[in-house]
Structure 1
């Protein structure tokens, strides 16, 4: 389910996924197929990790990346979950062929 609720979406972002919902900052974003696909990839990741472990891993990896890059934006962009979502957000068939735990391929260091 997609909801427009700008107060839940962090400053500087357009959407956030918290299973089973996708929250968007702007109503017009519902038409952004790339953004919606990106968030659907996060939904799949959350399901695979049974939701709570996803957020623990996400937060832990963000902290590690912050130390590694000393830049919050670079840290965010290099979280394995985000790397997978950004790399495949333009492929609208990605979720049909995606392997389980595919985000593991994106764990190694890669600078955006």
Structure 2
């Protein structure tokens, strides 16, 4: 389910996935197939990890990468979940053939 509510999306971001919702910061980006696909990939990741463990892993990996890169944006872009989503966001068939826990291969890249 897609919801438009700018106050739930962190500043500097256009959308966020909080299972089972995709929350966007404005109605104009509802037509962005790429962004919606990116967020749907996150929903699949969340479902695979039973939601709460996904967020724990996400935050822990972000903190580790923040210490490593010493840069907020670079740490965010290098989280395995984000790497998978950004790499595959233009492949609109990806979720049809995506293997279980595919984000694992993006941890060490």
The two structures have a TM-score, normalised by structure 1, of 0.96
Aligned to 2:58: 58
The two structures have a TM-score, normalised by structure 2, of 0.99
Q: CA RMSD in A?
A: 0.5
Aligned to 2:89: 89
Aligned to 1:10: 10
How far the C-alpha of 1:96 sits from its partner, in A, is 0.3
Give the number of aligned pairs: 109
Aligned to 1:70: 70
Aligned to 1:33: 33
Structure 2 segments unaligned to the other structure (5+ residues)? none
How far the C-alpha of 1:27 sits from its partner, in A, is 0.1
Q: Deviations over 1:14-70 (max 9, x none)?
A: 000000000000101110000000000000000000000000000000000000100
Give distance in 1, aligned partners of 2:29 and 2:51.
Answer: 24
Structure 1 segments unaligned to the other structure (5+ residues)? none
**When you count helix as a share of all residues, which structure comes out higher?**
2
